[in-house]
Homo-oligomer: A and B are copies of this chain.
Amino acid sequence: MTQLDIAKNGVLTNELIRCAEIEEIEVDKLRRLVAEGVVVIPKNKLHNVKKPVAIGSGLSVKVNANIGTSVGYSSIQEEIEKLKVALDAGADTVMVLSTWGNLSEMRRVLVKESYVPVGSVPIYDSAVKAFNEKKNVVDFSESDFIDMVLQHAEDGVDFMTIHVGITKGVLEKSKNSKRIMKIVSRGGAIIAGWMIKNNKENPFYKNFDEILKIAKEYDITLSLGDGMRPGALVDATDVQQLEELFYMQELVEKAYAEGVQVMLEGPGHVPLNEIEMNVKLMKKIGLGRPIFLLGPLPTDRGMGHDHIVSAIGGALAGYYGCDFLCYVTPAEHIGLPDVSEVREGVIASKIAATVADVARGLPKALRLEKQMAIARRNFDWTEMFKLAIDGEKSKKKYEAMNYTDEGCSMCGPFCAIKVTRDYMEDKTQCTTK
């Protein structure tokens, strides 16, 4: 039985109990949210997830980090390093998106190394296999679609992106579209290419029942991928994007009936003024299922700093109800991120998630903000570094300044907190709790 089935039956799993503790939410309330399908707990039966994560309505916003090899880069050591850095920086999940080297073996190693849920995109493997056999990247068979899903399930992956909404109908509509960038989803483009070349329906859509069987057996959470997500700001929120989304509703219902956990993936490149609408529409059409956004990026001109661009969009999306942010690194749109860029990406997304949690008034988030204010008021640097999202970096900078007086080198003797304390307050430590 899946986490969803068990919750429907009123039983508490170890993962559910642990997640309720982390979220500071009453355990039966969390069970009900899982039973309703509006919260998922991704966990493959074969994967020992030591730090489970609950994603969805009413919970803190979660962060996913993408790692994985690419053409010419396939060091498993470097991927393990990326995994460690991402987890240390606070990633709640990782997706292994390798397209170079021994994919299955690397996946198994990373699943074993990861104490958080691991995601993947099975269709990549088919394209890589075709490419390695010197064929076009869309030259593989219909059964490969299903085989790859099963392979990933056996490798222990906890959630998988299945680009199930790119149907013939959606592609037909997109033919005469005014989009500047027709498809920017790697998986989406491969499936669309396969469909056009073979003149066949999307096998994930056609064989969705079979996918559900595998997902049910291993308790894979399906992440319904948005192959048609806009890839440029000027293409945002167009008919193709929405057509694909509309196909999701029946799939959400089918999965729920089978006891399979699902979430919905979303854009992408979205102007700030359209983020609220996008999130609310996804929640509405997706029947309240958890939403997993890549970004969103509210400008295309932030190359080299897309972690910042994505933090802006992610914070606002989280505030409006997005549950799960896929990080974006400074290397996005330029090349494969290195280890330090993975770290920067996770930190930026954690900041966005924190901003959203605070804005949504989550008690835990507000308590941490108050503790930080008190630490700053008391010049308690140790406590500040403990409460900071990235205490490591801020401590390093502070120590490098070698400023020994109270306060810091920014204001020196003119520190507002010191001046205020001297003239407006008693001089005891602030103990407000």
Give the B-binding residues of A (Cβ under 8 A): 70-73, 99-100, 124, 127-128, 131, 136-138, 174-175, 180-186, 188-190, 192-193, 196-197, 231-235, 271-273, 298-305, 307-309, 311-312, 315-316, 319, 330-336, 347-348, 351-352, 354-356, 358-361, 366, 368-370, 372-374, 376-377, 384-385, 387-391, 393-394, 397-398, 401, 403, 408-417, 419-420, 422-425, 430, 432
Given contacts A373-B233, A414-B99, A424-B192, contact A397 B299 (CB under 8 A): no
Q: Who on chain B is nearest to A274 by CB?
A: B359
B351 touches A309 (CB 8 A): yes
Which of B373, B385, B401, B416 has a CB less than 8 Å from the CB of A300? B373
Consensus secondary structure, chain A interface? helix
In the complex, chain B residues whose CB is within 8 Å of the CB of A330:
397
A412 touches B300 (CB 8 A): no
Which of B390, B409, B432 has a CB less than 8 Å from the CB of A72? B409
B377 touches A304 (CB 8 A): no
A303 touches B384 (CB 8 A): yes
A348 touches B403 (CB 8 A): no
A354, chain B: closest CB distance, angstroms: 5
Which of B234, B300, B348, B366 has a CB less than 8 Å from the CB of A308? B348
Given contacts A232-B373, A335-B409, A397-B335, contact A414 B128 (CB under 8 A): yes
In the complex, chain B residues whose CB is within 8 Å of the CB of A271:
358-359
B389 touches A301 (CB 8 A): yes
Q: Who on chain B is nearest to A415 by CB?
A: B186
B335 touches A398 (CB 8 A): yes
Cα distance A377–B273 when bound, in Å? 24
A76, chain B: closest CB distance, angstroms: 18
Given contacts A190-B419, A301-B372, A376-B300, contact A408 B334 (CB under 8 A): yes
In the complex, chain B residues whose CB is within 8 Å of the CB of A309:
351, 355
A341, chain B: closest CB distance, angstroms: 9
A425 touches B300 (CB 8 A): no
